[in-house]
Amino acid sequence: MASRTALLISAAIMGLVAATPAAAQDAATGTNPARNAEPSGNPREGEDIVVTAQKREQALIDVPQSVSVVSGETLERQSVNNIADYLNNVPSLQLVQATPGQGRLVLRGVNTGGVASTVAVYLDETPFGSSSGLANGAALAGDFDAFDIARVEVLRGPQGTLYGASSLGGLVKYVTNAPDPTRFEARARGAVETTDGGDVSYQGNLVINLPLAENLAFRASGTFRHQGGFIDSVGTGGSDREENINDFDSYGGRASLLWTPTDRLSIRASALLQNIEVDAPTVVEADPVSLKPLYGGLTFSQFVPSYSDVAYRLYNLLIDYDLGFGTLTSSTSRSTQWQRRRDDQSVFINNVVDAFGPIFGLPPLDADAQLAQITNNRKWTQELRLASAGGGVFDWLVGGYYTNEKALIDQLIDAVDPDTLAIVPYIPQFGGLGGAQTASTYEEYAAFANATLRLGRLEIDLGGRWSHNDQTSLNTGTGLLGATDPYEGRSSDDVFTWSVAPKLKLGESANLYARVAKGYRPGGPNVVPPTAPDNFPATFGPDEVTSYEIGFKGETADRTFGIEAAIYHIDWSDIQLLSVVGGFGANVNGASADIDGAEFNATIRPIHGFVTTINGTYTRAVLAEDTDPLLVGGVKGDRLPFTPEFSFGVNSDYEWALGGDMRASIGGSLRSVSGQVGSFDVPYLSTFGRFARIPAYEVVDLRAGIDFGRFELQAYVRNLGNARGITSVLAQTGSGVFNYPGGAIGTGIIRPRTFGLSLTAGF
């Protein structure tokens, strides 16, 4: 009923927008797949959307691959704070998440779980996150605050040629606003929200742009956001009684200094600092079959209060020098990603001890248990490239890339007193329940080149990249459950990726393109316990995708209608899978997958001030062969996890003049996601005969605002129909051993209905 109600309300608001009289000006849209209108509003005088998807500035319509752009204006108009808020603007993009700051990005269905990322994340010229499978990079995708962002570029399909490792599915690139030496700017925004069944949320943002000289400018922004919780611990199985346990704070800022000492030389130094501090996961205990919440509401059994603190630190020095015949670019980056977390393991550890303790003569635990974990990743990168001046018959780009990463995962399981949370010695001679530590390094060298040949209306884009990486790991374990001798692991890969993309210009505003591209994800060493069986793999290899895509981009001469559409097929081989060998976790290569899909993104401007964007996807992502039935459980034809077969999004906004400097706006968004399947999970499969089935859901957002010139007031509601969309499934961790009381499983969910009010002041 809720889904049908949401659809009806969405249809009503779209009709209301369409019925409002035309105004003298058009709103800037920022989401046209081909071009963007000027703020003055006449779509016939619009400017090209300029993107850097191919590491040079290009009009979006000229890029021979599938790219979505979400502009800064759109991010602000839709009150976007993080990735989860702009999913409805990007076809084929999914976020698997149970805790803010811990999310897995999926593009075009390239996902089977595991710990290494399939989607690369960049902030301007800085690659962020781990390149290896030894630092939880897949589950710790960078989720940067979206205030004062120029645009977000999402490149779908493998990006191995220009962006290298771990971009099998694509790339998410945040492009920040550069300092402007021509004008002073200051802007502040505050917002307050209330969530159904939860605490109040609030946030504040500030940005300032200071011209320091004719060729020198400084820009800085800061943000603080408190998100109130809405999940309760209600005492199930003896757990705590506490309301709204899943609140979190996100705060930080960006600063950038731009110096242009000559017309040929540009130097920009940038820094980002952001912390995400979460008190408990956004997880609800659910029935293991239907996935519906148990105990009459949104509840989670908390025995030991959990937390997750994530800290991002990024520093970049970007130098561009115009040589006349081309531009030499140097990008030097230093980034760190730190996580401190505590997970409640009380039910799981007690169940393990109860099940297996008698075999070894161990007493009952009679205490709560926690997992304390530190995950650190330090990354230094250097890229140097030379690009031709552009615009000729033959354009080219050549470059080199180097990265050096050091990572650490340190885990410790302890029994704790239920009242004081003090550590309780279970069996002192074993030094605690268990601990494990993995220190790793990743070093990569790469050389790449890209060229575009123009033959009249036909253009051919060619790219290639050679990469070599070396990895090491040092693994140790302690305590009853983890005691091991130190073990060193090593691996290395040599990979060549390439792309070919011909494009046929059908007119000034229409292009037909094809693209064949290869991407890869590095392999690496496994953590090999001393008691592991002989068949335990010491290393795992890279996996690769080859993507075949045909697409069209075009718009009408008056720019009132634009569309981007593509169909594609992806061959995924030697898939990296998270498995269990001899009772120990391991990364293994196995099976292959076929992914077929179609997607479109259209923009409609029927009258001045009114713009609607519509996007949709169809994705058939399945295993092409059986996996090991005891290790993974997937068989040929099984759908890949967290990939809906259909998704659909609509964004509609209308802006009109009220007189003087005042303007009004109204708009709404709809996102519809079809049913999905959960992760490959052998214990779940053996219990229920299938993998978890995630129901379809729809989310409707509405917004309205008044712009007074210097001040702007906006009201909005997210998830109007109070849908309970599921974003992750946390099932059993071993046969018959559960994480939650009564055999329940955990499901990550979207935020319930939220009303908000924001005020922006500019100077």
Report residue 544's pLDDT band, with 50, 70 and 90 as the boundaries.
very high
Whose tokens are 């109600």? That residue is 5
For residue 51, give both structure tokens: 């993107």
Q: Which residues contact 214 (CB under 8 A, 6 or more apart)?
A: 181
Cα(62)–Cα(60) distance, rounded to whole angstroms?
5
Q: Which domains are seen in the chain, by residue range?
A: 2-762 (2.40.170.20)
Hey, how many other C-beta atoms are within 10 angstroms of the C-beta on 327?
A: 19
Cα(472)–Cα(298) distance, rounded to whole angstroms?
43
Alpha helices by DSSP H, listed for 120-181, are 160-163
Whose tokens are 């890949």? That residue is 640
| Region at 491 (left for phi over 0; alpha for psi -120 to 50; beta for the rest) | beta
The two beta strands, 170-176 and 119-123, are parallel
508, pLDDT greater than 50: yes
Mean pLDDT of the 63-74 span? 92
Mean pLDDT of the 500-527 span? 93
Residues paired with 155 in a beta bridge: 67, 171
| pLDDT score for 535 | 76
What is the sign, positive or negative, of the torsion defined by CA atoms of 101, 103, 107, 110?
Answer: positive
Cα(566)–Cα(156) distance, rounded to whole angstroms?
10
Report residue 309's pLDDT band, with 50, 70 and 90 as the boundaries.
very high
- Which of 43-57, 203-217, 449-463 comes out lowest in average pLDDT? 43-57
For residue 301, give both structure tokens: 């059994």
88, pLDDT greater than 60: yes
Cα(272)–Cα(267) distance, rounded to whole angstroms?
17
Share of the chain above pLDDT 90, in %: 66
More confident site: 726 or 116: 726
Cα(60)–Cα(271) distance, rounded to whole angstroms?
27
Residues paired with 255 in a beta bridge: 220, 271
Mean pLDDT of the chain: 88
Report residue 33's pLDDT band, with 50, 70 and 90 as the boundaries.
very low
Cα–Cα separations (whole angstroms), residue 639 to 109, 401, 620, 674: 9, 36, 8, 13
Over residues 191-206, the pLDDT tens digits come to: 999 999 999 999 999 9
288, pLDDT greater than 70: yes
Mean pLDDT of the 89-94 span? 92
Give the total residue count for the chain: 763
Mean pLDDT of the 545-563 span? 94
Mean pLDDT of the 536-551 span? 92
Report residue 731's pLDDT band, with 50, 70 and 90 as the boundaries.
low
| Region at 79 (left for phi over 0; alpha for psi -120 to 50; beta for the rest) | left
Hey, how many other C-beta atoms are within 10 angstroms of the C-beta on 57?
A: 12
Residues paired with 486 in a beta bridge: none
Instruction: Go through 641-667 and write b for each residue having 16 or more CB atoms within 10 A of its CB, e for each that does not.
Output: bbbbbebbbbbbbbbbeeeeeebbbbb
Over residues 224-241, the pLDDT tens digits come to: 999 999 999 999 988 999
Mean pLDDT of the 586-607 span? 92
577, pLDDT greater than 90: no
275, pLDDT greater than 80: yes
| pLDDT score for 752 | 97
Which residue, among 740, 724, 760, has the nearest Cα to 1 in the 3D structure? 724
Cα(97)–Cα(84) distance, rounded to whole angstroms?
9
552, pLDDT greater than 70: yes
669 sits in which H/E element: strand 662-673
| pLDDT score for 655 | 95
Mean pLDDT of the 488-506 span? 94
| pLDDT score for 482 | 63
Contact predicate 576/114, CB 8 Å: yes
DSSP label at residue 161: H
Contact predicate 754/715, CB 8 Å: no
Cα(332)–Cα(551) distance, rounded to whole angstroms?
35
| pLDDT score for 530 | 65
- Which of 168-177, 205-214, 685-694, 708-717 comes out lowest in average pLDDT? 685-694
More confident site: 536 or 272: 272
Over residues 434-446, the pLDDT tens digits come to: 888 899 999 999 9
Cα(103)–Cα(119) distance, rounded to whole angstroms?
11
Mean pLDDT of the 217-225 span? 97
Contact predicate 46/559, CB 8 Å: yes
The two beta strands, 524-525 and 119-123, are unpaired
Contact predicate 339/307, CB 8 Å: no
Cα(480)–Cα(478) distance, rounded to whole angstroms?
7
More confident site: 584 or 90: 90
Contact predicate 357/366, CB 8 Å: no
| pLDDT score for 290 | 93
261 sits in which H/E element: none
Please spell the DSSP secondary structure of 201-254, one letter per residue: EEEEEEEEEEEEETTEEEEEEEEEEEE----BEE-GGG--EES----EEEEEEE
Contact predicate 101/308, CB 8 Å: yes
Hey, how many other C-beta atoms are within 10 angstroms of the C-beta on 415?
A: 23
Share of the chain above pLDDT 70, in %: 90
Contact predicate 386/398, CB 8 Å: yes
| pLDDT score for 272 | 97
Burial tier of 134 (Cβ tally within 10 Å: 0-12, 13-18, 19+): buried
DSSP label at residue 429: G
34, pLDDT greater than 50: no
579, pLDDT greater than 60: yes
More confident site: 675 or 487: 675
- Which of 123-127, 221-225, 477-481, 720-724 comes out lowest in average pLDDT? 477-481
| pLDDT score for 394 | 94
36, pLDDT greater than 50: no
| pLDDT score for 337 | 95
Cα(538)–Cα(587) distance, rounded to whole angstroms?
9
| pLDDT score for 378 | 96
Mean pLDDT of the 153-174 span? 92
For residue 544, give both structure tokens: 């690769």
Report residue 428's pLDDT band, with 50, 70 and 90 as the boundaries.
low
Mean pLDDT of the 204-211 span? 97
| pLDDT score for 233 | 95
| pLDDT score for 47 | 59
5, pLDDT greater than 60: no
| pLDDT score for 324 | 93
Mean pLDDT of the 204-209 span? 97
| pLDDT score for 430 | 59
Mean pLDDT of the 528-532 span? 69
Residues paired with 226 in a beta bridge: 202, 249
More confident site: 731 or 62: 62
Whose tokens are 């230094």? That residue is 380
For residue 628, give both structure tokens: 């090991």
Cα(565)–Cα(92) distance, rounded to whole angstroms?
12
Contact predicate 473/443, CB 8 Å: no
Cα(249)–Cα(233) distance, rounded to whole angstroms?
20
Contact predicate 700/670, CB 8 Å: yes
Cα(457)–Cα(557) distance, rounded to whole angstroms?
18
| pLDDT score for 286 | 93
Over residues 337-369, the pLDDT tens digits come to: 999 999 999 988 888 888 878 887 788 888 999
More confident site: 427 or 336: 336
Phi, psi for 742 (deg, rounded to 5): 70, 20
| Region at 450 (left for phi over 0; alpha for psi -120 to 50; beta for the rest) | beta
| pLDDT score for 481 | 65
Please spell the DSSP secondary structure of 50-101, one letter per residue: EE-TTSS-EEGGG-SS-EEEEEHHHHHHTT--SGGGSGGGSTTEEEEEEETT
| pLDDT score for 356 | 77
Contact predicate 462/499, CB 8 Å: yes
Contact predicate 464/497, CB 8 Å: yes
Cα(588)–Cα(579) distance, rounded to whole angstroms?
7
Alpha helices by DSSP H, listed for 88-192, are 160-163
